[in-house]
Chains A and B, each alone.
Chain A
Amino acid sequence: MVSKLILIVDDEEINREMIGSVLEDVGYTVLKTGDAKTAINMSLEYRDKISVILMDLVMPDNDGFLAIATIKSQRFTKLIPIMALTASTDKESVIKAMNSGADDYLTKPFDPDELIYRVHNLCKISDFIKRWDVIAK
Chain B
Amino acid sequence: MDNTLYIEGIDIKSALGRVAGNEKLLRKLLGRFVETQIDAVTRIKTAIALNDLETAIRESHTIKGLAGNLGANTLFHNAETLEFLLREPSRDHLDEVLLTLEIEFKQIMQNITVSLVISEVSPQTNL
- Which of A14, A25, A58, A88 has the most chain B CB atoms inside 10 A of its CB? A14
Let me know if B91 is at the binding interface, CB within 8 A: no
Let me know if B123 is at the binding interface, CB within 8 A: no
Which A1-58 residues have C-beta < 8 A from chain B? 12-15, 17-18, 21-22, 24-25, 58
Q: Inside 8 A of B14's CB, which chain A residues have their CB?
A: 109
Render A96-118 as a binary contact track against B, CB cut-off 8 A, 1 for contact. Answer: 00000000000011111000000
A112 to B13, CA, bound (A): 12
A84 to B69, CA, bound (A): 16
Q: In the complex, which range does the number of interface residues on chain B fall in?
A: 20 to 34
B20 touches A22 (CB 8 A): yes
B61 touches A18 (CB 8 A): no
Q: Inside 8 A of B61's CB, which chain A residues have their CB?
A: 58, 87-88
Interface of B is mostly: helix
B68 touches A14 (CB 8 A): no
B32 touches A18 (CB 8 A): no
Give the A interface residue count (CB, 8 A). 20
A21 touches B69 (CB 8 A): no
Let me know if B22 is at the binding interface, CB within 8 A: yes
A15 touches B69 (CB 8 A): yes
B66 touches A21 (CB 8 A): no
Least CB distance from B103 to A in Å reads: 21
A109-B58 contact given A12-B66, A14-B29, A18-B29, CB 8 Å threshold? no
A65 to B18, CA, bound (A): 25
What residues of chain B have their CB less than 8 Å away from a CB belonging to chain A?
Answer: 14, 17-22, 25, 29, 32-33, 36, 58, 61-62, 64-66, 68-71, 76
